[in-house]
């Protein structure tokens, strides 16, 4: 099976994906998607990181007299395309857990994909980001809103679907209620039920 993990910022989505991959004995692809895409394109890892899951609208020139695309917008499209190709290539190699980057949509035509979304309540997320990044409560809340806005915009632009909407996923879990281990158990239980 291939598991894709969409996640709200501060929901421990990355840690859950890593723990799940370890339990299943398969690779976890998060920043590895960026690395793989960079290795197979003309762009550096730094360029990929600066455009990774960012709002596409940031790169459009807002002028009624401008009929082309800004250079930044063109780069965003090329970066996304390279990442999507990397996701397809890595999925062809076998089982894996894919984090973000529209992987659920990119791999939508495969029969072996379980699409998961991880959410959490705001106090939990704020605490998580404060601890992880050493930020104040206000700074953590601001960062969460910015990252979620970027991910939502990126997802909507490339999939024409709503990020975090249950219609786009097979399973939605609140990690603030289940914790990392509990969330992994829920996903594994779902996988076992599918196999039966």
Q: What is the pTM of this model?
A: 0.88
Asked if 33 contacts 168 with a C-beta cutoff of 8 angstroms, the reply is no
Q: Is the pLDDT of residue 65 over 50?
A: no
**Cβ-Cβ contacts under 8 Å for 11 (sequence gap 6 or more):** 118, 119, 120, 124, 125, 128, 175, 176
Specify whether the CB–CB gap between 96 and 29 falls below 8 A.
Answer: yes
Residue in 147, 130, 168 with CA at minimum distance from that of residue 52: 147
Residue 154: how many CB atoms within 10 A of its CB? 24
Listed as own residue / partner, the contacts of 179-187 with beta carbons closer than 8 Å and 24 or more positions apart are 180/12, 180/15, 180/16, 180/19, 181/19, 183/12, 183/16, 183/118, 184/16, 184/19, 184/20, 184/23, 187/3, 187/16, 187/20, 187/114, 187/116
Residues β-bridged to residue 32: none
Residue 60: pLDDT band by 50, 70, 90 thresholds? very low
pLDDT digits (tens, 9 = 90+) for 128-143: 999 999 999 999 999 9
Mean of the per-residue pLDDT values of the chain: 90
Report whether pLDDT(55) > 80: no
Region 169-186: what's the mean pLDDT?
97
What pLDDT, in 10s, does the model give residues 89-115? 999 999 999 999 999 999 999 999 999
The 3-class secondary structure across 28-55, one letter per residue, is EECHHHHHHHHHCCCCCHHHHHHHCCCC
Q: Would you tell me which CATH number, out of the four given (3.30.930.10, 3.40.50.300, 3.30.2320.20, 1.10.540.10), belongs to the domain 2-195? A: 3.40.50.300
Residue 158: burial class (beta carbons within 10 Å; 0-12, 13-18, 19+):
buried
> What tokens does 110 get?
């495969």
The CA distance from 43 to 62, in Å, is 26
pLDDT of residue 67: 42
């Amino acid at each position: 099976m291939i598991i894709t993990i969409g996640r709200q910022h501060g929901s421990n989505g990355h840690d859950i994906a890593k723990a799940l991959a370890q339990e299943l004995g398969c690779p976890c692809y998060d920043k590895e998607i960026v690395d793989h895409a960079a290795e197979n394109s003309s762009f550096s890892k730094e360029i990929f990181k600066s455009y990774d899951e960012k709002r596409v609208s940031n790169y459009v020139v807002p002028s009624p007299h401008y009929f082309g695309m800004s250079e930044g917008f063109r780069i965003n499209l090329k970066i996304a395309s390279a990442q999507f190709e990397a996701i397809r290539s890595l999925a062809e190699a076998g089982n894996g857990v894919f984090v973000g980057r529209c992987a659920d949509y990119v791999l939508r035509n495969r029969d072996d994909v379980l699409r998961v979304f991880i959410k959490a309540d705001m106090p939990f997320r704020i605490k998580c980001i404060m601890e992880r990044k050493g930020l104040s409560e206000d700074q953590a809340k601001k960062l969460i809103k910015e990252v979620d806005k970027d991910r939502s915009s990126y997802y909507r632009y490339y999939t024409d679907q709503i990020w975090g909407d249950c219609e786009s996923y097979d399973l939605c879990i609140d990690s603030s209620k289940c914790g990392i281990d509990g969330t992994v158990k829920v996903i594994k239980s779902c996988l076992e039920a599918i196999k039966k």
